[in-house]
Structure 1
Amino acid sequence: MQKPIPMSSYSIENQNPNNSSPLNLWLNNDLALNHAVCTAIRRHSLLKNAPNKTLANDFTSIISDEILLQILSKHPDKSQRNSNFLVSKGWLNLQGRLVRSLKVFDWDFLISGRMFFRFPNLTHVDLLHGTFASNNTSALLSIHEFGCFRLSPDEFLCDDNRSLLLPVDEVDFGLKVLASVYPNLRRLVVMNCSEIGLLSVAEECPIMQELVLHMCNDNVLIGIAAFSNLQILKIIGVVDGFYKSVVSDRGLIILAQGCKRLVKLELQGCEGGYEGIKAIGECCQMLEELTFCDHRMDDGWFSALCYCENLKTLKFVSCKEIDRNCEFDENLGVCLLLERLHLERCQLRDKQSVRALFLVCQIVGEVVFKNCWGMNDAMFFNASLCRRLKFLSIEGCSRLTTQGFETVVLSLTELESLKVISCKNIKDDEVTPKLSALFSDLKDFKWWPGNTSLLSTKLSFSDMGKRGGKFFKKF
């Protein structure tokens, strides 16, 4: 009988692409998978049959596990509920059965089977931190997307950051083991896998609803087409200073044709262009929220956005530009069901692309600007195209002046809520009586432009605060 090769018999340095490598033998050998999965079963059997010396003093032992689980799950204090495992080994096992979400920091915890024994009912698993191969503690690497990791100086200065991660084959094997044990998995976060690993998850986890893929590329997206029930997807192709992979029109078209039930999609550091976004709009008819983060889209892509006919929320985060080569106004189209437009940490320096953005989003009812560079009076004037705007939030836009702000706000006849924070060139002493009257009619108003507030004096003779609502609120 063929024995499975122990995990200690291969290492990162010994990996090779040949089919005769130990890891490939594991992947092609069902005995290896059975060994990993059955480890948890053997551990559970040994613990269950072992004599419990404290049984005589444990009065809760007379209560069935099912009833005790119901009691523990009703505890209102989550922190207290998580500390219940300190009572006894029996309570430790019960507490593990209540856990549904887990972040894996040690890959061996997954491969050895200890994770399946300790937490048998997981539905949300985050493998991001576990895919890092380094355990050194001599230097600290901090990345906003991942958190903090401790690495050696040699690794920190390494040009190829892939050496810091587990090999793709090993990550795929971990996904295969994970999927075989948790068929009810609903959310998964993983980095540096291939389409083979994703296909194994798709086959075993038919109700998967949310997927986050770091270091994703076009080939990986071949496997994502098998997730027929996927509703939320986040694709990270590039993280500056750490890794870079390519997601182009080819990958976006594969994604669109395979995941037709998507409701929420986020593309971070992705390339592509008109054809890819058009395919997503035509195939993903249920898509309601679309986010572009630090995109690398080709010129002319923005005119394809109107194909997302049911889009309700559009977000741009950390984008250096919208589109450098927008088409003429008549070719842009309009997102007829769009409700929210959010721009955060974006560079709004191209007047033509900003105008195109508001033309496509002219039906929107909520607009948020947060820490956007280049947002001056000329750029902000394009917001007056949104005639149905009811909620406007402006934060950290230091180049916007009181005059430019007033010109747009007075043109928004349906405005109900306004929020102005940390905009140093919008000053209280420049607010006109006409603008003050508009403020008094708002249902929700937050005003903190960054200087000492004199607005309360200007509004002291108005009817503000006498109409039954909380009209003026100091942020």
Structure 2
Amino acid sequence: MRRHDWINSMLPDELIIEIFRNLDSKSSRDASSLVCRRWQALERFSRDTIRIGGSGSPDSLVNLIARRFVNVTNLYIDERLSDAHPFGVGRRRPARQSAWARHHFFAERFESYCLSDAGLAAVADGFTKLEKLTLIWCSNATSEGLRFVAQKCASLKSLDLQGCYVGDQGIGAIGECCKQLEAVNFRFCEGLTDTGLIELAIGCGKTLKSLGVAACDKITDVSLEAVGSYCRSLETLSLDSEYIRNKGIIAVAKGCPRLKNLNLQCIMVTDEALTAVGNLCVLLESLALYSFQRFSDKSLCAIGKGCKKLKNLMLSDCYFLSDKGLEAVAAGCSELERLEVNGCHNISTFGLQSIGRSCMRLKELALLYCQKVSDDALFEVGKGCKYLQALHLVDCSLIGDDAICSIAIGCKNLKKLHIRRCYEVGSKGITAVGENCKYLTELSIRFCDRVGDEALVAIGDGCPLLRHLNVSGCHQIGDIGITAIARGCPQLTYLDVSVLQNLQDMALVEVGEGCPLLQDIVLSHCREISDVGLAHLVNRCKFLESCHMVYCPGVTAAGVATVISTCTNIKKILIEKSKVSERTRRRAGSIISYLCVEI
């Protein structure tokens, strides 16, 4: 029967709600909710997460959102998102709307408000099923507002506060009322002292699994001792503090036998504390150490000896670590899957060779600013780490083509290769990747001057799954290389060809023809492209969401207007202000960003 509503007459509410819950994007949910009033009500009923900004008027807006979205369990409020809203960021309002459509559009802008204690009271009254609350830089919220949440949101499991001036009374109320709390994160909470954290540890010690403290100057070892005494189920601890010393870390190591993840940026901590971690935290799986000046290889030797389950190790700016410590980790932590070494200037080739020989389960390796690591290190990784899926190299001046060839031949499961400013890497190494790594999905070779078109031809021929390509600053790459990518990599969604002086419009035509799924493109500083190539690109790439094209002399105001009018999904354009006409500015000013701000 014509015009018969088979869906609404045949499908029950429960099935439609389940369909909404399984849609893969928010935009799809938003579009589906516009079909009819019933679908709009069911979509609101099924929504469990709302992300809102933090400027405007709080009380009535929160109340109105709470009445429409009654099953929200995850609320994210960010003062930095003053002009953002979760129900369709960046969408343009139609010129003509029905009364119902205007009401729907108005309701969808209710996440832009300034949160105060009154707003938190409204949150507590309206979202009684809340399980996760995130407050970012909500500077008007205090302990009084947090007490409202504690008293009425007993199901709260996760609380993330950043830059909020909540004090001990609010945190103490959370500890007293929220007995299911599992994760808390305090960052720049200037009002918080040991008293509040101790009350939280006492109240939620049985359930608390994750604790993060950063830049809270009044938190000392005293509260960490309480954590060690009461939080026996703690699995994750993240600390960034100049005031935490050995005593607090040792207390946690002794009192939290289930600790699995430890992130430390504590400049006063020494070998004594990390030795305790190595001896006592036998379940430790992830360890990140930042800017340590007071510990040596002795700490890593203890970690290697005691933490046999370690899978992730991150070392950043730890100047007194050497190959000896890394060798101890390699010998003792055979289950290691991810290693990042960043700016540890005493770690050299020998330490990484030990990893390659012993850590056969390694899946991701990142070497940043490692000036003493040479090709020989990656030879061993290529031979021993057959399961490697991601390799990141930044400013490693001794690593060249031979190392990349070794990785390509030995690690055929490689999916991500990111190289930046490694000037000895050229076409030979990248060609080997194209010939051997058939599962490659991400390739970034920024400012590698020796990589030319022949390398991208090999990638286009051998890596059909490629989705992300960044060749910014690779001056030898031109139309031939990008054309090969366009013809061989139809799943490409991200392309950065900025600062390619020889790239011309023909390459953009090929990209438009061969990469219909493209979502993001960066064309900045491409002097040879023009409005013609840009028009061909946007006419074919219907899913384009962002386009950066500053310092492209051939792109004019007409080209910018073409992008705006053609790309219905566009969310961000970066361009010089002089190339945006008044009409374009009126039509899409909210999605246009300018490189320079006039003074």
Provide, for residues 116-152 of structure 1, a one-character-per-residue CA deviation record: whole Å limited to 9, x for no partner: 23322211112332998xx9xxxxxxxxxxxxxxxxx
Question: Does the Cα contact within 8 Å between 2:186 and 2:213 map onto a contact in 1?
Answer: yes
SS at match of 1:342: strand
Question: Does the Cα contact within 8 Å between 1:270 and 1:296 map onto a contact in 2?
Answer: no
Q: Aligned ranges for residues 434-453 of structure 1 at < 5 Å?
A: 436=379, 439-445=382-388, 449=393, 450=396, 451-453=399-401
SS at match of 2:237: strand
Over 3 Å counting, the alpha-carbon distance change for 1:127 and 1:302 in structure 2 is same
Question: Does the Cα contact within 8 Å between 1:179 and 1:204 map onto a contact in 2?
Answer: yes
Match of 1:397 in 2: 343
Question: Does the Cα contact within 8 Å between 1:302 and 1:326 map onto a contact in 2?
Answer: no
Kindly provide the amino acid, as one letter, of the partner of residue 111 in structure 1. Answer: S
Say which of 192, 203, 222 aligns to 1:258.
203
Say which of 228, 244, 247 aligns to 2:192.
247
2:392 & 2:74 partners in 1: Cα distance?
40
Match of 1:20 in 2: none
Q: CA deviation at 1:382?
A: 2.7
Kindly provide the amino acid, as one letter, of the partner of residue 294 in structure 2. Answer: D
Count of aligned positions: 364
1:331 & 1:443 partners in 2: Cα distance?
30
2:353 & 2:280 partners in 1: Cα distance?
24
Q: Aligned ranges for residues 317-396 of structure 1 at < 5 Å?
A: 319=265, 321=267, 323=269, 326=272, 333-343=279-289, 346-352=290-296, 355-356=298-299, 359=302, 362-364=306-308, 365-369=310-314, 372-375=316-319, 378-379=321-322, 381-386=324-329, 387-389=331-333, 390-391=335-336, 392-396=338-342
Kindly provide the amino acid, as one letter, of the partner of residue 232 in structure 1. Answer: A
Question: Does the Cα contact within 8 Å between 2:224 and 2:251 map onto a contact in 1?
Answer: yes
Provide, for residues 68-124 of structure 1, a one-character-per-residue CA deviation record: whole Å limited to 9, x for no partner: 743642664433222123334443333222221112325536435321233222111
Q: Aligned ranges for residues 112-131 of structure 1 at < 5 Å?
A: 112=61, 113-129=63-79
Q: CA deviation at 1:438?
A: 6.6
Match of 1:301 in 2: 248
Say which of 408, 412, 421 aligns to 2:367.
421
Question: Does the Cα contact within 8 Å between 2:245 and 2:268 map onto a contact in 1?
Answer: no
Kindly provide the amino acid, as one letter, of the partner of residue 185 in structure 2. Answer: K
Say which of 98, 111, 129 aligns to 2:60.
111
Question: Does the Cα contact within 8 Å between 1:335 and 1:363 map onto a contact in 2?
Answer: yes
1:277 & 1:108 partners in 2: Cα distance?
38
Which protein, 1 or 2, shows the higher relative CO under an 8 Å CA cutoff with sep ≥ 6?
Answer: 1
Question: Does the Cα contact within 8 Å between 2:271 and 2:299 map onto a contact in 1?
Answer: no
Structure 2: gaps spanning 5 or more residues:
84-112, 418-599
Provide, for residues 413-462 of structure 1, a one-character-per-residue CA deviation record: whole Å limited to 9, x for no partner: 4653162433442444455xxx84575233433555443231366799xx
Q: CA deviation at 1:400?
A: 4.4
Say which of 202, 214, 218 aligns to 2:168.
218
SS at match of 1:207: coil
1:331 & 1:84 partners in 2: Cα distance?
52
1:258 & 1:77 partners in 2: Cα distance?
38
Provide, for residues 198-227 of structure 1, a one-character-per-residue CA deviation record: whole Å limited to 9, x for no partner: 333233222211111232433332112121
Question: Does the Cα contact within 8 Å between 1:73 and 1:98 map onto a contact in 2?
Answer: yes
Over 3 Å counting, the alpha-carbon distance change for 1:95 and 1:403 in structure 2 is closer
Question: Does the Cα contact within 8 Å between 2:253 and 2:280 map onto a contact in 1?
Answer: yes
Q: Aligned ranges for residues 285-296 of structure 1 at < 5 Å?
A: 285-294=232-241, 296=243
Question: Does the Cα contact within 8 Å between 1:367 and 1:393 map onto a contact in 2?
Answer: yes
Over 3 Å counting, the alpha-carbon distance change for 1:309 and 1:473 in structure 2 is same
Say which of 170, 177, 190 aligns to 2:122.
177
Over 3 Å counting, the alpha-carbon distance change for 1:474 and 1:201 in structure 2 is closer
SS at match of 2:280: coil
Question: Does the Cα contact within 8 Å between 1:305 and 1:335 map onto a contact in 2?
Answer: no
1:289 & 1:328 partners in 2: Cα distance?
16
Structure 1: gaps spanning 5 or more residues:
1-55, 136-164, 239-243
Kindly provide the amino acid, as one letter, of the partner of residue 332 in structure 2. Answer: R
Instruction: Report % sequence identity.
Output: 18
Say which of 192, 195, 201 aligns to 2:149.
201
Question: Does the Cα contact within 8 Å between 2:243 and 2:268 map onto a contact in 1?
Answer: no
2:407 & 2:369 partners in 1: Cα distance?
20
Match of 1:84 in 2: 32
Question: Does the Cα contact within 8 Å between 1:274 and 1:300 map onto a contact in 2?
Answer: yes
TM-score (norm 2): 0.52
Kindly provide the amino acid, as one letter, of the partner of residue 204 in structure 1. Answer: K
Over 3 Å counting, the alpha-carbon distance change for 1:248 and 1:206 in structure 2 is closer
Q: CA deviation at 1:404?
A: 4.7
SS at match of 2:72: coil
Question: Does the Cα contact within 8 Å between 2:21 and 2:47 map onto a contact in 1?
Answer: no
